[in-house]
Amino acid sequence: MAREDVKKVIDSIEAGDNVSASNAFSAAMVDKQKEAIDTKRLDVQLDWLNKQEQPANEEI
């Protein structure tokens, strides 16, 4: 979670606003999931490109 997201969750809990804390936590988790998906997508693309290059090198 980003520092701002953690602050929002903690501030909401301290204020006794459980709904806001839950919403802030959910938003932070969505951001974290998007970041993880983007990272995995990049890894898969690089792996796919590397596999495409290997057969070309073997034929030469």
Provide the pLDDT for residue 57: 57
Half-sphere CA count of 25, side-chain side, radius 13 A: 11
Q: Which residues have C-beta within 8 Å of that of residue 42, sequence separation ≥ 6?
A: none
- 9-36: per-residue pLDDT in tens? 999 999 999 999 999 999 999 999 999 9
pTM of the model: 0.66
Q: Is the alpha carbon torsion for 30, 31, 33, 34 positive or negative?
A: positive
- 33-56: per-residue pLDDT in tens? 999 999 999 999 889 888 876 655
Provide the pLDDT for residue 32: 92
